[in-house]
Amino acid sequence: MASNNFIDYVKINCRSGKGGAGSGHFFRAKGLPNGGPDGGDGGRGGHIILEGNSQLWTLLHLQYQKHLIAKPGEGGGENLRTGAQGDDIIIQVPLGTIARDAETGEKKLEITEHGQRLILTPGGRGGLGNDHFKSATNQAPTYFQPGEPGIDEWVILELKLLADVGLVGFPNAGKSTLLSVVSAARPKIADYAFTTLTPNLGVVAYRDYKSFVMADIPGIIEGAAEGKGLGTRFLRHIERNSILLFMISVDSNDIAAEYQVLLSELEQFNPELLEKKRLLAITKADLIDDELEAEIRETLPTDLPTVFISSLANKNIMQLKDMIWQALHAKE
């Protein structure tokens, strides 16, 4: 997922099709000059539909497609012929896409499964032909319905990545390095802060051909909830993660304090994030010996599953995978 191609927020104009008008036709034939009403119904206007596609990871394909206009339905005809429906517009979106009303912010729908189709903007209903309005007292109704208008609205599409485990930590905590070691993902890695500017996803191979999805979220800093650093723009992506893996470098001045800062920033963004399962990985563990590791462990929270890892030295990487897998499949 190239960083400059990762788009997780787009605003689009959706115009569904107008419904076709019903017909006011009367049957006419030789010897039957005053036949009854036989006007057919108008066709429905085209819907604008979202469809989930597990092969997509970004909303990039919609960035420059600002206006989506569906076809109107056709009018009804004689002999009770119903007008053709307007063609629907089907938009492929990645799993985890949420649609919101651009004016109110109200959630309209959410796509979470491959092949799932939901109507984003419904087309106008076709009008009824005059055949529907005949009765014993009105055998020659001239009334028929016009089609309902389509809907013209601005919609925000917002992507929240679906992953089993989300990596949470300060810049240069080793999140991208871990993802590159355990998966085929190739995030940018460098020795300066904010190397990762967009989320990255990787499929992590596990024992017996099993796997799980890991998301590397750009590093947050103290004050991110107030807009410092990269702010909280990408924190929405960990709202869908089953587990949060906190990663703190072993060379931190105070690991326990950094952990509390990270928790505080998540709580300010969304208190519900603290209800997720949490694991702690102390990174760059190849820089210390067993004695120092034992001393550091004594300062860490006792109720938090913790492992010391080194992505470069491949230290305890399999143990970390085991810990993640057990947390993913532990019974509540």
8 assigned to a ligand binding site: no
41 assigned to a ligand binding site: no
In tens, the pLDDT along 99-136 reads 999 999 999 999 999 999 999 999 999 999 999 898 88
In tens, the pLDDT along 176-226 reads 888 888 886 554 444 433 344 567 778 888 988 888 888 887 756 555 445
219 assigned to a ligand binding site: yes
Query: What is the C-alpha separation between 23 and 131, in angstroms, rounded?
Result: 9
What's the mean pLDDT in 2-7?
Answer: 56
72 assigned to a ligand binding site: no
Report which of 182, 226, 222 is spatially closest to residue 325, judged by C-alpha positions.
Answer: 182
Q: Is the pLDDT of residue 297 over 70?
A: yes
Secondary structure tally for the chain: helices H, strands E: 4, 14
97 assigned to a ligand binding site: no
Residues 6+ apart with CB under 8 A from 280: 245, 246, 247, 248, 259, 300, 301, 304, 305, 306, 307
196 assigned to a ligand binding site: yes
For the chain, domain boundaries: 9-159, 165-329
198 assigned to a ligand binding site: yes
Q: In this predicted structure, what is the pLDDT of residue 32?
A: 74
169 assigned to a ligand binding site: yes
Q: In this predicted structure, what is the pLDDT of residue 196?
A: 45
Q: In this predicted structure, what is the pLDDT of residue 6?
A: 66
180 assigned to a ligand binding site: no
Tokens of 146: 């016009």
Contact yes or no for 255/299 (Cβ under 8 A): yes
208 assigned to a ligand binding site: no
217 assigned to a ligand binding site: yes
175 assigned to a ligand binding site: yes
In tens, the pLDDT along 217-252 reads 775 655 544 554 444 556 777 777 889 999 999 988
Q: Does domain 9-159 have CATH number 3.30.70.270?
A: no
171 assigned to a ligand binding site: yes
Q: Does domain 165-329 have CATH number 3.40.50.300?
A: yes
58 assigned to a ligand binding site: no
Q: In this predicted structure, what is the pLDDT of residue 332?
A: 54
Coil, helix or strand for 74? coil
Residues 6+ apart with CB under 8 A from 122: 16, 47, 151
163 assigned to a ligand binding site: no
In tens, the pLDDT along 247-282 reads 999 988 889 889 998 888 888 878 888 889 999 999
75 assigned to a ligand binding site: no
Contact yes or no for 79/35 (Cβ under 8 A): no
Burial class (CB in 10 A: 0-12, 13-18, 19+), 13: middle
273 assigned to a ligand binding site: no
285 assigned to a ligand binding site: yes
315 assigned to a ligand binding site: no
Query: What is the C-alpha separation between 182 and 180, in angstroms, rounded?
Result: 6
277 assigned to a ligand binding site: no
In tens, the pLDDT along 16-68 reads 999 999 998 888 877 777 778 999 999 999 999 999 998 887 888 888 888 99
